[in-house]
Amino acid sequence: MCGIVGAVAQRNVEGILLEGLKRLEYRGYDSAGMAVLSGDGRLQRSRAVGKVAALEACLAAEPMTGHCGIAHTRWATHGRPTEDNAHPHLSGERLAVVHNGIIENHEVLREELVAAGYRFTSQTDTEVVAHLIDRDYRHSQDLLSAVQSSLARLEGAYALAVVHADEPDVVIGARQGSPLVVGVGIDEAFIGSDPLALLQVTDRFIYLQEGDLVRLADGGRIDVYDTSGRTVEREVDTFEHGDGAASKGEYRHFMLKEIHEQPAVIAAALEGRLGDSAVLVESFGPEARALFERVQQIHIVACGTSYHAGLVARYWLERYAGVPVQVEVASEYRYRQVVVPEGTLFVTLSQSGETADTLAALRFAREKGYLASLAICNVPGSSLVRESDLTLMTQAGPEIGVASTKAFTTQLAALMLLTLALGRSHGLDEAIQSELVNALRGLPRLVERVLALDEGIEALSTGFAEKHHALFLGRGAHFPIALEGALKLKEISYIHAEAYPAGELKHGPLALVDSEMPVIAVAPNDELLDKLKSNLQEVRARGGELYVFADEQVSLAEEPGIRVLHLPHVHEALAPLLYTLPLQLLSYHVAVLKGTDVDQPRNLAKSVTVE
Ligand code: AGP
């Protein structure tokens, strides 16, 4: 989604803003732009369609200088990705705005502003914000109060940054429904859509809260105002993941780097949360123990890959904690008449903690009488974390590749911790708890062993490069793994992929199977294995090309039309964590073969902050 950077610095900000935009590229965008206030009170602006490199080329031809500026990567919502629609948007020659989010009442405001004599040059919803602030500024002659009064007119979601040539050392930022952080420098101040954008200049951040407005000024002055306009103190946090997260290191793509980080981040997700033979329930917060005893049902709500993690957890929670679970995508849940039985725990899953639908679902749930809300999330300080009663951080570190990999497996690790924590208060046999805790401890090593099979997986990928469709099959908790495998393949290789519970094959999708349809199956050694094998025979009988990821203890031999890759044996409950890895690698290699933009696939954004 759109990315914002802003700076009031002692040095020329062009380089800081440009580097910030490069660091935000992973969020997904289709045009970029920058506005810098020069020392002599001029507003300079440059915009380009396409990659940040195109903007960089414009800036190389016509550099900007100044100590104060804002910049933006745009992911088109209102209006095509053209230069006219790219941000910053100006009102006159002196005011510039960048915006992430959607202004829902932009049409009404546009009419009002047109009637007041403003001329629009773009199709965006953002341009109304620029003119609205300009109109209020003409009365107040004060940028802060002009932004405050204009924001009161906006409906929808936004993070925005504003500069005005009359106040050449000031950037105003605001957030409502879209993320924005303040970077605290030494005599300098910055804003960005996330800390990664600013790690080249600071590792200290203020995570703005909903409705906050911030004024950055000369000398590093930072004033934060809440919705009532009062000055408020917000905590300054130190970013702990280091700047390495923002570089690919030895890897060709962030996605590959993040796939290979999984042994370490899964270990980090478990660290300090496992006792000798049981999960430490306090990992979920001091009040978790008493609260979990009262849980009678669970509703899990999430989007995309995080939703798939929730689907896996349903199998675990019902089996080991004996608690009924409902899992739903947030965009559906938030508009439904939900019935909430007494004692229901509301769980959200999100890598970013800023996904608009998931956040809206949490806010909707607050009115529904849930026992409590729990967020399983990867970004400390994110909106979801701040607004939930309990939290468990997944500790995956920043994930840059749009296709979620390590965020998914750490979510699964966290969900297994939740299963065991709830199992503890719901009478799960102590021997089973101990067995699963031991299995969890051994998991990072097993993940390493699966990743070591990469060469074999790469060899399989050649069978997909010319294909247009693929079918993924799994049973039980591996049906969601098949769904996740299909999502990975489609989002980065643009091959149409679908996933089915293998038992559903003969109820329709079998009609699609022929030699042009590769069928990928995950076959761990569990109670459903024999049934899965019968389903695979159905595929072979119709000439389908099978790719099977199977437990090393499963006797499945390669033969014409069946490629088999054996995975190390793993405790049945943890198999979903392991079997997702070859599917990640397979998608990655297919995408590389097809030459797609692996880390920033077309049309997609990393953090979906609009509905
Ligand atoms: C998956 O590869 C995608 N990045 C996407 O489905 C993602 O999981 C979804 O948008 C939810 O994001 P979140 O986990 O940050 O809420």
In tens, the pLDDT along 488-521 reads 999 999 999 999 998 898 898 888 888 888 999 9
Give how far the C-alpha of residue 537 lies from the chain's centroid of Cα atoms, to the nearest Å: 38
Helix-, strand-, coil-residue percentages of the chain, each rounded to 5:
40, 25, 35
Helix (H), strand (E) at residue 550: strand 545-551
Q: Is the CB of 350 under 6 A from ligand 1?
A: yes
Band (pLDDT 50/70/90 cuts) for residue 243 is low
Residue nearest atom 7 in ligand 1 by C-alpha distance: 304
* CA of 403, closest atom in ligand 1: 2
Q: Is the CB of 360 under 6 A from ligand 1?
A: no
Cα 352 to ligand 1 centroid, rounded to whole Å: 8
Cα 54 to ligand 1 centroid, rounded to whole Å: 28
Cα 194 to ligand 1 centroid, rounded to whole Å: 16
Cα 305 to ligand 1 centroid, rounded to whole Å: 5
pLDDT at 242: 67
State both tokens at 487: 């999502």
Separation CA 314–CA 473 (nearest Å):
18
Q: Is the CB of 580 under 6 A from ligand 1?
A: no
Q: Is the dihedral of CA 542, 543, 547, 548 positive or negative?
A: positive
pLDDT at 352: 93
* CA of 605, closest atom in ligand 1: 4
Q: Per DSSP, what are the bridge partners of residue 221?
A: 217
* CA of 488, closest atom in ligand 1: 2
Q: Is the CB of 179 under 6 A from ligand 1?
A: no
The β-bridge relationship of strands 95-103 and 156-164 is antiparallel
Cα 422 to ligand 1 centroid, rounded to whole Å: 26
Percent over 90 (pLDDT), the chain: 78
Cα 349 to ligand 1 centroid, rounded to whole Å: 10
Q: Is the CB of 348 under 6 A from ligand 1?
A: no
The average pLDDT across 572-601 equals 95
Separation CA 218–CA 225 (nearest Å):
18
Residue nearest atom 16 in ligand 1 by C-alpha distance: 350
Is the pLDDT at 351 greater than 90, yes or no? Answer: yes
Q: Is the CB of 587 under 6 A from ligand 1?
A: no
Q: Is the CB of 352 under 6 A from ligand 1?
A: yes
Average pLDDT, the chain: 93
78 vs 37: which has the higher pLDDT: 37
Which residue bears the tokens 């979601």?
A: 157
Separation CA 320–CA 343 (nearest Å):
18
State both tokens at 403: 């296709």
Q: Is the CB of 303 under 6 A from ligand 1?
A: yes
Separation CA 520–CA 376 (nearest Å):
30
Band (pLDDT 50/70/90 cuts) for residue 378 is very high
Strands, sheet with 325-329, edge to edge from the N-terminal-most edge strand: 325-329, 297-302, 344-350, 372-377, 390-393
The average pLDDT across 525-541 equals 79
The β-bridge relationship of strands 344-350 and 297-302 is parallel
Is the pLDDT at 28 greater than 80, yes or no? Answer: no
* CA of 491, closest atom in ligand 1: 2
Please check whether residue 470 is in contact with residue 486, taking contact to mean a CB–CB distance below 8 angstroms.
yes
* pLDDT per position as a tens digit, 396-413: 998 999 999 999 999 999
Strands (E) in 138-246, as ranges, are: 156-164, 170-176, 181-184, 189-192, 204-207, 213-217, 221-225, 231-232, 237-238
Residue nearest atom 8 in ligand 1 by C-alpha distance: 305
Is the pLDDT at 448 greater than 90, yes or no? Answer: yes
Cα 78 to ligand 1 centroid, rounded to whole Å: 22
Cα 153 to ligand 1 centroid, rounded to whole Å: 31
Q: Which residues are catalytic?
A: 2, 606
Cα 113 to ligand 1 centroid, rounded to whole Å: 37
Residue nearest atom 9 in ligand 1 by C-alpha distance: 304
Residue nearest atom 10 in ligand 1 by C-alpha distance: 304
pLDDT at 92: 95
Residue nearest atom 2 in ligand 1 by C-alpha distance: 403
Ligand 1 pocket test: which of 355, 358, 408, 596 has the largest number of ligand atoms within 8 Å of its C-beta?
355
237 vs 276: which has the higher pLDDT: 237
pLDDT at 275: 86
What SS3 state is found at 610?
A: coil
Q: Is the CB of 447 under 6 A from ligand 1?
A: no
* CA of 303, closest atom in ligand 1: 11
Cα 276 to ligand 1 centroid, rounded to whole Å: 34
Ligand 1 pocket test: which of 178, 306, 596 has the largest number of ligand atoms within 8 Å of its C-beta?
306
The average pLDDT across 340-363 equals 96
Directed axis angle between helix 575-594 and helix 406-425, to 10°?
Answer: 170
In the chain the domains, ranked by start, together with CATH numbers, are: 3-246 (3.60.20.10), 248-451 (3.40.50.10490), 453-602 (3.40.50.10490)
383 vs 450: which has the higher pLDDT: 450
* pLDDT per position as a tens digit, 99-155: 998 888 999 999 999 999 999 999 999 999 999 999 999 999 999 999 999 999 998
pLDDT at 187: 94
Cα 351 to ligand 1 centroid, rounded to whole Å: 7
* CA of 606, closest atom in ligand 1: 4
* CA of 302, closest atom in ligand 1: 16
State both tokens at 436: 């699963």
Residue nearest atom 6 in ligand 1 by C-alpha distance: 304
Prediction pTM value: 0.80
Is the pLDDT at 201 greater than 70, yes or no? Answer: yes
Q: Is the CB of 304 under 6 A from ligand 1?
A: yes
pLDDT at 76: 83
Q: Is the CB of 255 under 6 A from ligand 1?
A: no
For 269, phi and psi rounded to 5 degrees? -65, -30
Ligand 1 pocket test: which of 349, 351, 362 has the largest number of ligand atoms within 8 Å of its C-beta?
351
